[in-house]
Amino acid sequence: MSDPQGSAIGDRGSEEPGSGIGDPGSETLAHITNVVVWDIPSAIVVGEKFRIKVGMKCSAECDLTGSHFEIYDHGVEESGIGDQGSEAGSGIGDPGSEEGSGIRDPGSEEGSGIRDRGSREGTRVATGTLSGDVWPGTTGLYVAEVELEAPAAEGLYTWSVRSLGSDAEIPHPDGSISFGVRVVSHPEYLVTVETVDKESQMPLSGARVVMHPYKAVTDERGIAQVRVAKGAYRLFVSQSRYLTFGLLVDVDADMTARAELCVEPVQERN
Amino acid sequence: MARKKDSDQKDPKRQGEKSVTRRDFVKAGAAASVGAGAAVLTTSGTALTQVSPTEAVRWTYEADVVVIGAGCTGLPAAIRARDLGASVIVIDQNFDPGGKMLHSGGQISLGGGDPLQLRDIKGEGDKEGFVTAPRQQTVAELTEDTDFLFRDHTDWSVMDTAAQAPYRYNERDLHRAYADNCYATREFLMANYVRMGRISGTHGNGGMSRARRAVTFFMEGPTTDVKKGTISKQDAGIAGKSSSHFAPRFMEDGTKVASKGARTNGAALARPLEFSAREKGVRFILNRHMDEIIREQQFSGRVVGIRASYSPRFDPSGARLESLWQNGNIDDRTETIYIRARKAIIIGAGGHGANPQFRSMFYPAWREPAFVSSGWALLGPRGQDASGIIAGMRVGANLAGMQQNLSYGSTFHFPGNLATRDPYTDMLPGHPTFSMRGSTGINLLTDSFQHLIVVNQVGKRFFNEMLVTTRQGGAAFPAGPGKGQPKKGLDHVQLDWRNASVENIKATYSEPNSVHAALAMNEGSKAPDFFSGPIWAIFDRAAVERDKWNIDPPFTSLTNGFFFKADTIEELAAKILKGHEFQRVPLTYLKETVAKWNSYVDKGSDPDFARGSDAPMHRIDTPPFYAAAFYPVWHDSYGGLRINGRAQVIDMQGEPIPGLFAGGESSGGGNQHGLGRALVHGYIAGTNAVKETT
């Protein structure tokens, strides 16, 4: 275990409260556990299984093998897609660092069996344990993949992951992070997008097609298929070194769109 | 922990501290092998003497004309004075002549019926047969006279897309002389080995009504030979891989303006001028910074000489950087020397873009020392330091054009180059200053900014990232709707009140504003300077993979303080605070900002800065996480010493300071971007300097 005084974190942190940085001047320095969540599908059909990755990192680079975490559902946000609400009302702020955010102590409800969707504490939907794998490209982010089940109703949910410490000798206070889970009904229409280079008319593979919240990637023929719900969308197709193609579409049936992408010109230097 | 920097760096030895090694980069073969045509000196421009007109100075050297700065003003001034029979010494603070001109695009807007306009009107090429490309402009677009050019450069009515007037405040006497000397300057350049292609449009603020810009070029050949106008492929550079000592920046294809095999940029201007100057007997004292202009009395009498200090630069191995050519050099390593000017001193020391104290008189927020002037790595820490202007002020000079920094669109802007302190400079392996860049940077096009967020020193976003690199264009031919003017090309009407009408300004105003937002005070700004602090691009591994960025060395460096990688956002914030010399406060809000951004992505809208309308939004959640310095750059300098039409420096009483001349970015009162203005000033200054009597 490395010396926390020598870690990259902690220097000058005490100057600014709330920075999330440790205080090297304290005699009872705690090892801070930070939590990361990624690979969250952008749209998950109601009731379906999906997988996410959870990572945890100790500020002193402790081995977190065997550390436990819990995942909570805090319910549907009242604001929907495109809501222009203030940040205070977004409900997706970092619960771990904000006083009164409401999920600091979910453990009190453990075992209650009550799904208190929308409550501050949230409902525990899963637990997990870090296996000891460190995520590639990181120095000490221990990772686990978790299978979860989407709620049965549509909406943008706020979920959170909370670390529960480990059996390590040095205490690790809980860390947590919240994230959005977009649950959609079964999308009924198929949008086929053909993507080509405008000048050569050659297909562009690997282009990203986005009809928020739905996404797809074009294949070697330049084709991507996105299954979406009825509605109005801003269809984007983007590819490295090309200008993003944008198109407003109303989807009320299966449809096809063609995206001709232009190489982005290099701005003249003078 | 080291104290965070509150002032600019002045120690030249710091240049080599953080470096890119040649091994870091694609192997580019041997360095430049130029030297053909090196001239034998036949004149004695200098002599060790002990003349002391002020009874106090022991002169180390003397010459008829002393030129400060071997750049776009200084080189033509030196050659012109030498052509007219004067002995000339040129000093430059850098190790190699050329200044910013050497790194420029080589675009020269002149006009008024200059020789290249006339050549294109006639449909002719050059004598060497290099220029065979078809004419780019119509005869009408090329036809004008000096009176027409003068009106263009002093047109009160022209407004740019930031509602600024780029011509209204130009000094009239200066621009009358400019118009009258464009023809002679173009001829002069061609007589000194400078090849230029077809006229195409007009460079920024070079006038609205006619096409006046030509680009300098060499032809690819087996060897680099300035006299023959050829350059080897190695010297011209390989895109993205190598440049050369001869040409620090990769030279672009010039087929459209000359013919197949033409390679263009400022090396095709700076090197020929330097070559010609050396050939004609101009003497160079490089690694020599001018610290003081000596006048008979501080505010009266003639200027008689200068004091200059030794300013060498060293590569990471400790070796002194040396000029490409040495013939004509005086290698004096004495700490301080004094040079007597029998007739005149010409200040061509460049602008003030790298002097935070000086530039802050135009824009207080730019007192922030973190941000550099373009060419920082090429010119070193003393380039563009306003020393020429300050020295002139100390002997009584007036200033001019002090507001004109604000009326050229790229005076300061965000180049899209991340993870480097000097985001504008392009040296690659092969040029001696490549290692000074520290990292070459992650050079992104605008569309790639969809994959990141940009935050200030406390970790808060401040602008729509998709618009943050938008630059306002210069006001120049052919302009038209969307570029500031109601009518395009030949339809533009000089001095027409409609050009400045409220309706036109409303229709064309598009000031980008991102730099202003970046420089705004924030929660980390503290008295007395209220620095806005560094700017950071924040992204994740998914962005790197999605948009195929190369973030390996030498594009980035994890040790130079301009690029950080961390397992979590919290750790990233801590690393920036610890590792970046201008990060004075914690990025307190970074974690919250990223969380908020991810929530906006989930919702599909960005209520803070309206992202999502022109490109998709992407979560920043996949470790590892990255922070790359995203720095604005001060590119041009406008505002400086007031000069008249003879390029004489004018004092506070409106009188010329006897023997003192200036031009280019050391002078003010001219808002033209780029090379044309400085070249003409240099030509005029050299012409008139020799007429001075001791």
Distances (CA, A) of A82 to A233, B611, B623: 11, 12, 27
CATH class of the B416-472+512-634 domain in this structure: alpha beta
B614 CB neighbours in chain A (<8 A) are 244, 246
Please say whether the beta carbons of B567 and A58 come within 8 A. Answer: no
A10 CB neighbours in chain B (<8 A) are 574
Which residues have C-beta within 8 Å of that of residue B569, sequence separation ≥ 6? A34, B538, B590, B591, B594, B625
Tell me the pLDDT tens digit for each residue of B351-384: 999 999 999 999 999 999 999 998 899 999 999 9
Closest approach of A52 to chain B, Cα-based (Å) = 11
Please say whether the beta carbons of B215 and B105 come within 8 A. Answer: yes
A236 CB neighbours in chain B (<8 A) are 615-616
DSSP secondary structure letters along A101-160:
-S-S-GGGGTT-----TTSSS-EEEEEEE--SPBPTT-SS-EEEEEEEE--SS-EEEEEE
Measure CB to CB from residue A12 to each of B471, B586, B596 and give the nearest one: B586
Q: What are the residue ranges spanned by the domains of chain B?
A: 58-99+276-351+386-408+638-689, 416-472+512-634
**Angle, to 10 degrees, between the axis of helix B146-153 and the axis of helix B172-190?**
130
**What is residue A60's predicted lDDT score, i.e. its pLDDT?**
87
CB contacts under 8 A, A 107-126 vs B, are none
Closest approach of A92 to chain B, Cα-based (Å) = 6
Q: Look at B446 and A264 and tell me if their CB atoms are within 8 Å.
A: yes
Q: Look at B602 and A180 and tell me if their CB atoms are within 8 Å.
A: yes
Q: Quick one: closest CA in B to A18, which residue?
A: B588
Q: Look at A11 and B598 and tell me if their CB atoms are within 8 Å.
A: no
pLDDT string in tens for chain A (270-residue length): 333 332 323 333 333 333 333 444 444 567 889 999 999 999 999 999 999 999 999 988 889 999 999 999 999 984 444 333 333 333 333 333 333 332 333 333 333 333 334 456 799 999 999 989 999 999 999 999 999 999 999 999 999 999 986 666 677 778 899 999 999 999 999 999 999 999 999 999 999 999 999 999 999 999 999 999 999 999 999 999 999 999 999 999 999 999 999 999 887 665
Please say whether the beta carbons of B663 and B452 come within 8 A. Answer: no
Please say whether the beta carbons of A40 and A93 come within 8 A. Answer: no
Of B495, B478, B476, residue with least CA distance to B487: B478
Compute mean pLDDT per 10 residues along chain B, 694 residues long, and list them: 48 39 40 26 35 70 98 98 98 98 97 98 97 98 98 96 94 98 98 98 96 98 98 96 96 97 98 98 98 96 98 95 98 98 98 95 94 93 97 98 89 92 91 91 95 98 96 87 90 96 93 94 97 98 96 93 97 98 98 98 96 96 98 93 98 98 98 96 98 85
Cα Rg, chain A, nearest whole Å: 22
Is CATH 3.50.50.60 the right assignment for the domain spanning B58-99+276-351+386-408+638-689? yes
Tell me the pLDDT tens digit for each residue of A34-80: 999 999 999 999 999 999 999 999 988 889 999 999 999 999 984 44
Choose, out of B452, B461, B621, B673, the residue to mutate when testing the contact with A (most A CBs < 10 Å).
Answer: B621
B103 CB neighbours in chain A (<8 A) are none
For A85-116, b/e burial (b = at least 16 CB within 10 A) is eebeebbbbbbbbeeebebbebeebeeeeeee
B574 CB neighbours in chain A (<8 A) are 8-11, 13, 21
Most distant CA pair in chain A, distance: 68
Distances (CA, A) of B4 to A14, B417, B532, B579: 17, 24, 14, 10
Distances (CA, A) of B192 to B188, B229, B265, B679: 6, 11, 16, 13
Beta strands B453-455; B536-540: pairing state: antiparallel
Closest approach of A179 to chain B, Cα-based (Å) = 7
- Residue pairs spanning A and B at CB distance below 8 A: 177
Beta strands B536-540; B300-310: pairing state: unpaired
Q: Is B188 helix (H, G, I), strand (E, B) or coil?
A: helix
Q: Look at A270 and B448 and tell me if their CB atoms are within 8 Å.
A: no
CB contacts under 8 A, A 50-79 vs B, are 55, 57, 59, 79
Closest approach of A154 to chain B, Cα-based (Å) = 13
Please say whether the beta carbons of B384 and B352 come within 8 A. Answer: yes
Measure CB to CB from residue A93 to each of B542, B592, B617 and give the nearest one: B592
Whole-model pTM: value is: 0.88
Q: E strands of B316-371, at which residues? A: 336-347
For B455, the token pair is 């935050």
Please say whether the beta carbons of B630 and B606 come within 8 A. Answer: no
Choose, out of A7, A12, A19, A98, the residue to mutate when testing the contact with B (most B CBs < 10 Å).
Answer: A19
